[in-house]
Amino acid sequence: MRKVYGIELLRQLHLANFVYYNEEFDEIYAWFNGPIIKILNYLGEEVGTATIYNSEANREYTPEEIIPMHDVQTSVDTIVSELYNE
């Protein structure tokens, strides 16, 4: 089946530092900077957020901290695995 993407989604993806497509749930996880991952639908509307987890310190990141890409990817992997385990 062909997916229809909104122009707002394309604008959001252009600005993102990291993007993950979850085709099973029709969601896109985008990280721009800071401790928040935005969850978008295919139109570009925000349908939720998740906080990036600091795996070394066992806590969530604060807005002032520099976030390594590894923790962004690990946090997205956690979100996806929790969706499939529900």
pLDDT per position in the chain (86 positions), as tens? Answer: 567 778 888 998 999 999 999 988 889 999 999 999 999 998 899 999 999 999 888 999 999 999 999 999 999 999 888 877 76
Q: Is residue 60 in some structural domain?
A: yes
Q: Please state the separation of Cα 61 from the chain's center in Å.
A: 15
Give the domain range for residue 48.
Answer: 7-85
**Helical (H) or strand (E) element with 81:** helix 69-85
What's the pLDDT at 1? 55
Q: Is residue 2 in some structural domain?
A: no
Q: Which residue has the tokens 């066992």?
A: 58
User: Are the beta carbons of 6 and 42 closer than 8 angstroms?
Assistant: yes
Q: Is residue 21 in some structural domain?
A: yes
Total of domains in the chain: 1
User: Are the beta carbons of 42 and 29 closer than 8 angstroms?
Assistant: no
